[in-house]
Chains A and B, each alone.
Chain A
């Protein structure tokens, strides 16, 4: 069963715990790291860093045009609809791990980068659930803290970044009020 606008996979805490330590299937980006999306991002957050606006400067300084590290996860956010018959890509573990709750909030994020994200990279990611807390009562609702480790590689297999995310999967107050 899925719930909420995120399409969270709802299950029990015990069902979630069964995923701890189990690596996901590799997930591939739908698009290459590309200039149009980089420009949209840096414009939206008003980042004037010339390395994201001037491809010649970036090539001179970094070896190629590059993308901001903050865009890393977005390259692996899969398109929700595709016209072909291919099965939908595996969902991110943060959404796919079955747990109680109809909503989620990102609590913390930790990353180590080994190279720039480069225009033309076709990234892939393998994720693994590191831990799931027991149910906690928080300011936004009662839920579980889910920690996922993700390793991002480019098409050559080179490791580009390793990230650890803690997400709170929880029931919204209106869900609890409904009983």
Chain B
């Protein structure tokens, strides 16, 4: 594929449920209260248990790699967590190409994750080496 600066990625929508929050926390050994205990999460002023960092990064990486090619290699990732992604949320991943480096064979993509209430949950920038061909 040959990305173009400014190109907009197809959006991807996910309905986050309790099972996914807990399963992904368990898969990353992050047994912290905010990810598995609704009372604990509410004491942290959260609506419900929320996704751990690793799963969020996984969703973002998967979103961009789905577009760039499954064997695109992630070189750099910067992500800022603005709001928690809670069980019950519907999130949409959005992306846009910030730049293409033909010499290095890389593409840099800005990614935003927004929830069904319009909250901007995650903002990130990923640089990937594109698959050959």
With a cutoff of 8 Å between Cβ atoms, the chain A residues found around residue B44 in the complex are: 103, 105, 140, 172
With a cutoff of 8 Å between Cβ atoms, the chain A residues found around residue B116 in the complex are: none
A108 to chain B, nearest CB (A): 4
B46 to chain A, nearest CB (A): 9
Is B104's CB within 8 Å of the partner chain A? Answer: no
Residues 39-59 of A, flagged 1 when their CB comes within 8 A of B and 0 if not, give 011111111111100000000
Contact yes or no, B54 A74, CB < 8 A:
yes
Contact yes or no, B26 A40, CB < 8 A:
yes
Contact yes or no, A70 B54, CB < 8 A:
yes
B32, B34, B44, most chain A CB atoms within 10 A: B44
Contact yes or no, B58 A47, CB < 8 A:
yes
Return the chain B residue nearest A108 by Cβ: B80
Contact yes or no, A40 B27, CB < 8 A:
yes
How many B residues touch the partner, as a band?
Answer: 35 or more
Given contacts A69-B57, A70-B55, contact A44 B33 (CB under 8 A): no
Residues 103-122 of A, flagged 1 when their CB comes within 8 A of B and 0 if not, give 10111111111001000000
- Give the docked Cα–Cα distance between A107 and B80 (Å): 6
Interface size on A, residues (CB 8 A): 43
With a cutoff of 8 Å between Cβ atoms, the chain B residues found around residue A140 in the complex are: 44-45
| Segment at the A interface, from B1-9, B69-77, B94-102, B106-114 | B69-77
B43, B58, B62, B84, most chain A CB atoms within 10 A: B58
Contact yes or no, A71 B32, CB < 8 A:
no
Return the chain B residue nearest A140 by Cβ: B45
**A interface residues with partner B (beta carbon < 8 Å):** 4-6, 37, 40-51, 61-62, 68-71, 73-74, 77, 79-80, 103, 105-113, 116, 139-140, 172-174
Please list 10 pairs of residues, one from A and one from B, whose beta carbons are closer than 8 Å in the complex, sorted by A's number: A4-B33, A44-B24, A44-B55, A45-B59, A51-B71, A73-B54, A77-B30, A105-B81, A108-B79, A112-B75
In the A-B complex, the 3 residue pairs with the smallest Cβ-Cβ separation, listed nearest first, are A70-B58, A70-B57, A74-B28
